[in-house]
Amino acid sequence: MAIAASGMLAPDVALSTTSNFSDFANGRQLSDAELGQLRGRFVDKGRILFFGVQMTSEWRNPAGGHLRAGATLHGDLTGRAPSVSFEPHLTMVSAGNAVVAGPSGNGAIVRDGGTGGIGNARGVVQSIQAAGDFNAAANDLQIDVLDASQHPGVPSGSGASSSQQLPSGTRISASYGPQGMNVALDMPGMGSVTQAIVPSRGLRQSIQLTSDLQQVRNLTRLQLYMGQSGADASPPGLRTAIESVRQLRR
């Protein structure tokens, strides 16, 4: 239809010039294996039916202590009103009294001059501040785009926040509420590790260390389950859908 209509245009109608694709003359089509290695995923003509957020913060110290704070959030967007299930996971493993007593730090202090970007940045904000030697720290984000037919179903989580504190002052917590989703590890004199999804702001991952020989990691996994829209539907674009999930509003 477009070709037939163009032939009926009057001679004095100005047509836009054709783009020059000569730079791609030696190009080739990428295989599925190569496309799978590219950063970024694109989904066409789909919509998010379910989503999942998995947060895990881990801390290992040289004395054998192992702390882990995690939480799982499942969302079902297929009904008239979204349904959300939240489940916290807290673990403390100690070798002797490594976690109970808590090894002392090196006396250093981390002064945060706004690098967390809570007030002036949106999206994914990752920060690592270390006032010590031989530490290993990482903030990671993984996004998986999956078929809705693979969704295992939304479990019935408790929806309650959880926290534990030891006599040494070490505290681990996982919470969900109007202020968003948060997991945190705090060891007085040694530092703190936090992750949070803040409504209208995005993901925050922060590591602050004031000790030596620590191994810490933040990991957030966002799983988007896409379903095909009907012929008469007007699905939102992928970016709009991800923005709506990031708000995490009921």
Give per-residue pLDDT as tens, 33-46.
776 666 555 544 44
Asked whether residue 87 is domain-assigned, the answer is yes
Asked whether residue 204 is domain-assigned, the answer is yes
Asked whether residue 55 is domain-assigned, the answer is yes
pLDDT tens track for 186-195: 988 889 999 9
Query: Total domain count for the chain?
Result: 1
What is the DSSP code (8-state) at residue 38? S
What is the DSSP code (8-state) at residue 128? E
What is the DSSP code (8-state) at residue 97? T
- Reading across the β-sheet that carries 162-165, which strands appear in turn? 123-130, 202-209, 191-198, 180-187, 171-177, 162-165
Asked whether residue 143 is domain-assigned, the answer is yes
DSSP string, 164-217: EE-TTS-EEEEEEETTEEEEEEEETTTEEEEEEEETTTEEEEEEEE-SSS-EEE
CB 114 within 8 A of CB 97: no
Asked whether residue 111 is domain-assigned, the answer is no
Asked whether residue 192 is domain-assigned, the answer is yes
pLDDT tens track for 86-133: 889 888 776 555 554 445 666 566 666 555 444 567 788 899 998 888
Establish how many alpha carbons lie within 13 A of residue 198's alpha carbon, considering only the half-sphere containing its beta carbon.
16
What's this model's pTM, rounded to 2 decimal places? Answer: 0.67
Asked whether residue 2 is domain-assigned, the answer is no
Q: How confident is the model at residue 1 (pLDDT cuts 50, 70, 90)?
A: very low
Asked whether residue 235 is domain-assigned, the answer is no
Q: Round to whole Å and give the CA distance between 112 and 64.
A: 29
Q: Give residue 129's domain range.
A: 46-96+117-228
